[in-house]
Copies of this chain bind each other. A is one copy, B any other.
Amino acid sequence: MSSQIEVNSRHYRIPAAPTIVVCVDGCEQEYINQAILAGQAPFLAQLAGSGTVLTGDCVLPSFTNPNNLSIVTGAPPSVHGICGNFFFDPETGNEVLMNDPKYLRAPTILAEMARAGQRVAVVTAKDKLRALLGHGLQGICFSAEKADQLDVEVHGVTGMTERVGMPVPSVYSAELSEFVFAAGLSLLRRERPDLMYLSTTDYVQHKHAPGTPEANAFYAMMDRYFAQYHDVGAVLAITADHGMNAKTDSAGRPRIVFLQDRLDARFGDESTRVILPITDPYVVHHGALGSYATVYLRELDRHDEVSAFLAGIAGVEAVLTRATACERFELPPDRIGDLVVLGERLTVLGSASDQHDLSGLTMPLRSHGGVSEQKVPLLFNRKLSGLDDTRRLRNFDAFDLALNHLD
């Protein structure tokens, strides 16, 4: 058996010890810092001394699916193709969901490790990611959301609700993520996967700011599981798909730019089409509002005019052409619009106001999608070595760092 594999032009060593990569959805670094300050994360608190604490950049758009796929492929969206939850096909006029693995253009490190004979397990909170993360994978792969519907032929394991001792939690709950960690611990003890990938949901982070009791309790829960993984002897790498920021004013009201309304009023109905790739079947907690949008134009010769108009709107941080966005953010040009629009840190971008159901926003809006949510933690329970100081670290370096740079 070879001592390393190659995936998407990068090399990864075969794990020397059980290795767990955790993607904590929406983990703005301040959540960890504040939980430590509150004395609720003793395991995370000592990582800066006994392990390694780094900061990295996630991929843009700072959404869940593009970043989870980047982490498990070790590559940006220009390579793996998943640049949002859906894209617009101008030829058919359809908005196409990208949950189906047929849209994935690259193999995952997980599938290749399994092909190399390693035992691999994946547990994700929401089922929307399961098919993508498990593409081509011979191993264990299931979601907490559907953990009571496991088929050993499909998911590689069954009986997880009994093993974990928890019923399947609501898809909108902190417990959905806790189920992921509890299942991971159970797998670690019984199946002992060589490589495991755990991915949570940002339900808590969309609702609660860093340092609040609810956020601290969530991080305290994770801290207890991380300590147990460590005690079992696992190599642990913790990163995030994206950060999280308040998107409100001081009264907690959302600051929203409804791009489709603004464009329709200025250029006429159907002259442009705003796509918000954060939209997915689970939008209750953020109303499909993030700080990233892409715009398709009917008349390409109005490109500069539309771009200048958008750039002049208060709350818009930047407007990029497709070419510039693809270069700067390593995006697949065939799956983004003619323009990419970024919202400022405290602003989200909507399409038309009547397309957003904000009735589920029971707490002041917190969201992501922009450059302001690009900084994420890269934490390890071991010292790393051989790192170049000038290297720009990415969240999708998590497997490289955990497998190739252990001290």
Contacts and interface: CB of A to CB of B under 8 A. Distances in A.
A173 interface: no
A391 B250 CA distance: 19
Contact of A250 (B32, B209, B211): B32
Interface string A228-253: 00000000000000000010111111
B251 A33 contact: yes
Contact of A364 (B37, B54, B249): B37
Contact of A36 (B30, B55, B210, B251): B251
Given A246-B30, A251-B53, A346 B375 contact: yes
A377 interface: yes
A34 interface: yes
A328 to B, nearest CB: 14
Contacts of A255: 55
A34 B251 CA distance: 9
A169 to B, nearest CB: 24
A33 B392 contact: no
A29 B249 contact: yes
A29 B211 contact: no
Contacts of A53: 249-251, 253
Contacts of A251: 32-33, 36, 44-45, 47-48, 53
Number of copies: 2
B377 A250 contact: yes
Contacts of A54: 249
Given A33-B248, A249-B29, A314-B392, A55 B346 contact: yes
A215 to B, nearest CB: 8
Nearest to A314: B392
Nearest to A344: B375
Nearest to A27: B250
A166 to B, nearest CB: 28
Interface string A176-209: 0000000000000000000000000000000001
A155 interface: no
A280 B54 CA distance: 31
A348 to B, nearest CB: 14
A158 interface: no
Contacts of A37: 212, 252, 363-364
A379 interface: yes
A368 to B, nearest CB: 14
A31 B212 CA distance: 12
Nearest to A31: B250
A392 B377 CA distance: 35
A279 interface: no
Given A211-B212, A375-B346, A250 B314 contact: no
A250 B33 contact: yes
A126 interface: no
A321 interface: no
Interface of A: 27, 29-34, 36-37, 44-45, 47-48, 53-55, 209-212, 246, 248-253, 255, 314, 344-346, 363-364, 372, 375, 377, 379, 392
